[in-house]
Amino acid sequence: MEVRVNDECSACGICEDICPEVFELGDEKAEVKMNPVPEEYHDQVREAAEECPSEAIEIEE
Ligand code: SF4
């Protein structure tokens, strides 16, 4: 799984709350700390993408 955060991100921090191992809030948007994402975090990353209010998390399986 590869994941990226696009420019729609509003830096709300929800993704970091759900999966701090993969997402970290930067100055203007969330940053992805690891790509590819290890299998153990796939469910949390999918949940973060679903919960993201800006639909800014793009997943490539
Ligand atoms: S949940 Fe979405 S809008 Fe909020 S910080 Fe993460 S990527 Fe950005």
Sketch the domain layout of the chain as residue ranges: 2-60
User: pLDDT tens digit string along 6-54?
Assistant: 999 999 999 999 999 999 999 899 999 999 999 999 999 999 999 999 9
pLDDT of residue 14: 98
pLDDT tier for residue 2 given thresholds of 50, 70 and 90: very high
Nearest-atom index, ligand 1, CA of 57: 7
Strand-pair category, 2-5 with 30-32 = unpaired
> Among 16, 24, 21, which residue's Cα sits nearest to residue 48?
16
CATH tag, 2-60: 3.30.70.20
Nearest-atom index, ligand 1, CA of 55: 2
Cα 21 from chain centre: 10
Say if residues 16 and 44 touch (Cβ distance below 8 Å).
no
Say if residues 59 and 49 touch (Cβ distance below 8 Å).
yes
pLDDT of residue 33: 97
The CA distance from 39 to 28, in Å, is 28
Return the best residue to mutate from 17, 32, 54 for the ligand 1 pocket (most ligand atoms within 8 A of CB).
Answer: 54
Ligand 1 contact, 9 CB (< 6 A): yes
